[in-house]
Amino acid sequence: MLLSLYCKKAEKLYHNRHMQTTPLPHVLILHDVRSAQNVGALFRTADAVGIKKIFLSAITPQPIDRFGRSRNDLAKTALGSEKTLSWESYEDPKKLIAMLKQSGYTVVAIEQAENAIDYKTITAKTPLAFMLGNEVSGIPKTVLGAVDTVAQIPMFGEKESLNVSVAGGIVLFRTLDY
Query: Which of residues 125 and 164 earns the better pLDDT score?
Result: 164
DSSP state of 159: -
Instruction: Give the pLDDT score at 170.
Output: 97
What's this model's pTM, rounded to 2 decimal places? 0.86
Residue 107: pLDDT band by 50, 70, 90 thresholds? Answer: very high
Instruction: Give the pLDDT score at 1.
Output: 54
How far is the C-alpha of 109 from the C-alpha of 129, rounded, in Å? 8
How far is the C-alpha of 110 from the C-alpha of 21, rounded, in Å? 28
> The domain 22-175 belongs to what CATH superfamily?
SPOUT methyltransferase, trefoil knot domain (3.40.1280.10)
Instruction: Give the pLDDT score at 51.
Output: 95
The length of the chain in residues reads: 178
Map out the domains of the chain as residue ranges. 22-175
Average pLDDT over residues 138-166: 96
Instruction: Give the pLDDT score at 63.
Output: 97
What are phi and psi for residue 136, nearest 5 degrees? -105, -50
3-state secondary structure of 30: strand
Percent of the chain with pLDDT over 70: 85
How many angstroms separate the Cα of 155 from the Cα of each of 41, 82, 161, 170?
22, 31, 7, 13
Query: Which of residues 4 and 169 earns the better pLDDT score?
Result: 169
Average pLDDT over residues 159-170: 95
The full DSSP string for 113-134 is -TTPEEGGG---PSSEEEEE-B
